[in-house]
Amino acid sequence: MKTIFLETTLIFISGLFLILFLDLQCWLEISSAYAISFVNAIIGYYLTVYAFTKSNKIFYRQVYLGMLLRMAAVLFISLFLIFKGYLLATPFFLSLMLFYVIHQWTEIINWLKILPQQKVILEG
């Protein structure tokens, strides 16, 4: 989890630097996208940690159902914020997709390192 936070914080800081350097007016969109994506990544991390010691059936249900529900929540929150006029659509969705891809990439790389080292408890 430390890696997820560190890498996306560096991306967020570089994005803020670009906003300040180029005098862009979309800091709210970028920071909102970062917050939504980061919360999504943290929930995904804890779902995987919780389900890892369970049976395969429970593990896959937790991970994939959790992914579906998280994606739906991100979509509905994003649409709500845009349709209510709180955020501009283009910079928000571009930032959200950038942060989402970074979080997923970081999460997958970390799980590929961590999961083979842990013992799996088999039921039955």
**What percent of the chain has a predicted confidence (pLDDT) above 70?**
77
- Mean pLDDT on 8-20: 70
Q: Which domain holds residue 6?
A: 2-117
The reported pLDDT for the residue numbered 47 is 86
Whether residue 98 is contained in a domain is answered as yes
Whether residue 46 lies inside any domain: the answer is yes
Q: Is residue 123 part of a domain?
A: no
Give the count of domains, the chain.
1
Average pLDDT over residues 30-43: 87
pLDDT score recorded for residue 75: 94
Q: What is the pLDDT of residue 27?
A: 80
Between 19 and 122, where is the model more confident? 19
Residue 85 lies in a domain: yes
Using alpha carbons, select from 59, 41, 56, 61 the residue that is nearest to residue 107. 41
H/E/C letters for each residue in 97-116?
Answer: HHHHHHHHHHHHHHHHHHHH
In this predicted structure, what is the pLDDT of residue 73? 96
66 located within any domain: yes
Tell which wins on pLDDT, 38 or 6: 38
Model confidence at 121, pLDDT cuts 50, 70, 90, reads low
DSSP3 helix / strand / coil % (the chain, rounded to 5): 85, 0, 15
What's the token pair of residue 75?
Answer: 């979509």
Share of the chain above pLDDT 90, in %: 19
Task: For residues 54-82, give the mean pLDDT.
Answer: 91
Whole-angstrom Cα distance, residue 30 to residue 34?
6
pLDDT class of 46 with cuts at 50, 70, 90: confident
- Residue 124 belongs to some domain of the structure: no
